[in-house]
Amino acid sequence: MSAEDVPGVASPDVGVSAEAAGRLAGTVPEPGVRKPDPLLVLDRVTRSFGGLTAVRVDHLEVQRGTITALIGPNGAGKTTLFNIVSGFDRADSGRWSFAGHPLTGRPAHRVARQGLVRTFQLTRVLARLTVRENLMLAADGQHGERLLPAVMRPLWRGQERETGRRADELIERFRLQGVRDDFAGTLSGGQRKLLEMARALMARPIMVLLDEPMAGVNPVLTQSLLRHMAELRDEGLTVCFVEHDMDVVMGVSDWVAVMADGRLVAEGPPHTIGQNPAVVDAYLGKRHDEPGTAGDPGPTGSGDARAIGDEE
């Protein structure tokens, strides 16, 4: 059974692919559940800042070839978890592995070279590099990046041409042709988001971690970004993204993991998440005096996801 069978959850254009959802068919929607083919596996990862425990995840697996949304209210520890996995922060304890290789404590650049590439909540474009240079920089295994070969142009000229060709393809795909040779620092907020996503792809990742790719982005661009994500998934890439707005999540993700107070409180296909009492607690605060509230997804639930679909 795929999430498309549930009326009004997925916006038709972005679409949850039956194939991707099929990979997770039969997976029990409970926190820490094992996946059939996990790409990223986290075990007992904790991180505290002073007295505050920001992350305390017992077990989390991300299924290969799917879009997994990591949601939760502000301060739930989503970004901290991303930072730990991508090597930008240290965990106090725990182990995690990626595509079968242990990743625990690896520095950020090594993580990226393994094929796990992230983006940032506040975009980080290289302001004084052109859009094309931003992309070309991200290419992996460039011979000309070593000091001695760098001065011997014939050694890397061919590879550089190929890198440029790939960059141009991505520029076209993300509709950045108009600003190709502009300094990235002159781009608008939305263009920066597109550039960052394109740049992550230039590194030929196996999996991308997108930290709030839709934050501060207008609805039209949000749809476009979502469509890009779905396309990438259909091309075989594994996507994991952080989002605290549930509406955005519903349409595109194959699986949703919910964090609150540093813990993983729920997991499941998107349509089940809105009804999950743990999620409602996390978003609206604990209040169990009325049994009915647990079933009502409330203002952040699937009702709004339908509204976004209607805009198309």
Partner 1 sequence: MDFEVIVSDALRSGIGPIAAVYALAAMGLNLHFGYTGLLNFGQVGFMLVGAYGLAVTVVTYGGAMWLGVLGGLACAVVLALLLGVPTLRLRADYLAITTIAAGETLRLFYRSSWAEPVTGGVYGLQRFANDFYDLNPIPRGSYGVWLVSFDARDLWVLTVGWGLVAVVGALLALLVHSPWGRVVRAVRDDETAARSLGKNVYAYKMQSLVLGGVIGAVAGMLQAIQVQSVSPDTFDPAVTFFLYTLLVLGGAGRILGPVVGSILFWFLLTFLDSALRQAIEAGYVSSELISTSEVGAVRFALVGLTLILLIVFRPQGLLGNRKEMMLSER
**Interface positions with partner 1 (CB under 8 A):** 86-88, 107-110, 112-113, 117-120, 124-129, 133, 136-138, 140, 142-147, 150-151, 153, 156, 160, 183, 185-186, 199-200, 203
Q: Report in angstroms how near the CB of residue 157 gets to partner 1 at its nearest.
A: 10
- Asked whether the beta carbons of 99 and 115 are under 8 A apart, the reply is yes
Q: Report in angstroms how near the CB of residue 111 gets to partner 1 at its nearest.
A: 8
Q: Which is nearer to partner 1, 113 or 180 (CB)?
A: 113
Q: Which is nearer to partner 1, 170 or 249 (CB)?
A: 170
For Cα atoms 8, 71, 220, give the angle at the middle one, nearest 5 degrees: 55
Q: Which is nearer to partner 1, 183 or 296 (CB)?
A: 183
Q: Report in angstroms how near the CB of residue 108 gets to partner 1 at its nearest.
A: 4
Q: Report in angstroms how near the CB of residue 294 gets to partner 1 at its nearest.
A: 39
**Which stretches of the chain are assigned E, i.e. beta strand?**
38-49, 52-63, 67-71, 93-98, 101-102, 116-118, 207-211, 238-243, 255-260, 263-268
Q: Which is nearer to partner 1, 126 or 221 (CB)?
A: 126
For Cα atoms 247, 250, 255, give the angle at the middle one, nearest 5 degrees: 140
Measured distance CA(40)–CA(75) in Å, rounded: 23
CA 224 centroid distance within chain:
15
Measured distance CA(156)–CA(154) in Å, rounded: 6
Q: Report in angstroms how near the CB of residue 95 gets to partner 1 at its nearest.
A: 22
Q: Which is nearer to partner 1, 99 or 137 (CB)?
A: 137
Name the amino acid, one letter, at 165: R
